[in-house]
Amino acid sequence: MPKRQFVDLHVKSSLSNGNSSPSSIARMAAHLGFKAIGLADFNLKNIGLLQDVRSIFESYGVDLIARADIVEHSPRLLKRALRKLRRKVEVIAVYCVNVNVARLAARDRRVDLLIFSSKSWRENFFDKSEAALALSGESALEVNLIDLIKAKSSSERIQAIRILSENLKIAKRFKVPVIFSSGATSIYEMRAPRELAALATLLGLTEFEARESLSRIPLELIRRNREKLSESYIMPGVRLIKKGEPLGKK
């Protein structure tokens, strides 16, 4: 049986509002045993740096996943951001800051990951309706360890655990894919796959589900999106064959 390959799909570097350089993150990712890292730094202003940053990660044997995090407070602005970014990056995550944004993000197939607040029940919009929309829109629920690390008090941490656990329970009931990430903003907040999986089990995932949320599920998302971004992609199951290209070539 092939060895599992693990992904941390949510890390921020100094390219945006993180505290560690891309090279430091790549070095730490290799040390921790990750196959790939989703660097959530990219936007229209710095997307030109992507190839240089990718080369840095390749030098450490780590696959870089170009990711954009979108924080918008209106569906109109969210649609505009999606239109501009979808063909530029490999993964798009949306912070569901209100119910209108959450509903649109869940049903829009350009959105890969949904992120919900763990600070209070009032600010959390992941419910049965949202889960049903997410399933039809083929988006996944992302849970980030950083929500627990940066809790300011034990009561705030307990509240976060309760909210995240309830979200996971709903996601499992409706078969919404779950991806567990660090959400790290520096190398000191990054964790090894085994540690992330252990924390995921504390929130209600089984050991198998925890490993899947850090390996197969994000890897399938990356593969699917890279296929869509390729020049030969037409639609699911249909691609353009160049003249002289063998039909069996993938």
Residue 144 has pLDDT above 80, yes or no: yes
Residue 243 has pLDDT above 70, yes or no: no
Q: For 161-189, write each residue's pLDDT tens digit.
A: 999 999 999 999 999 999 999 999 999 99
Instruction: Specify the pTM.
Output: 0.90
By three-state DSSP, how is residue 102 classified? helix
Enter the tokens of residue 122.
């009032």
Interval 212-216 mean pLDDT: 98
Per DSSP bridges, beta strands 233-235 and 7-11 are unpaired
Q: How confident is the model at residue 249 (pLDDT cuts 50, 70, 90)?
A: very low
Residue 237 has pLDDT above 50, yes or no: yes
d(CA 88, CA 86) in angstroms, rounded, equals: 6
Residue-wise over 9-35: b if at least 16 C-beta within 10 A, else e?
bbbbbbbbebebebebbbbbbbebebb
Q: Which residue has the tokens 């190839």?
A: 51
Interval 228-245 mean pLDDT: 58
**Is residue 122 within 8 Å of 155, Cβ to Cβ?**
no
Contacts of 185 (CB under 8 A, 6+ apart): 11, 12, 17, 18, 19, 20, 146
Q: Which residue has the tokens 């929130």?
A: 203
What per-residue confidence (pLDDT) applies to 231? 61
Interval 95-99 mean pLDDT: 97
Residue 240 has pLDDT above 60, yes or no: no
Q: Which residue has the tokens 């940066």?
A: 150
Q: How confident is the model at residue 3 (pLDDT cuts 50, 70, 90)?
A: confident
d(CA 164, CA 4) in angstroms, rounded, equals: 25
CATH topology classification for 7-239: TIM Barrel (3.20.20)
Domain definitions of the chain by residue range: 7-239
Enter the tokens of residue 59.
């030098």
Contacts of 247 (CB under 8 A, 6+ apart): 241
Residue 241 has pLDDT above 80, yes or no: no
Q: For 67-85, write each residue's pLDDT tens digit.
A: 999 999 999 999 999 999 9
Q: What is the longest distance spanned by two Cα atoms in the chain?
A: 64
d(CA 234, CA 243) in angstroms, rounded, equals: 16
What per-residue confidence (pLDDT) applies to 250? 43
What per-residue confidence (pLDDT) applies to 147? 93
Residue 246 has pLDDT above 70, yes or no: no
Q: For 14-32, write each residue's pLDDT tens digit.
A: 999 999 999 999 999 999 9
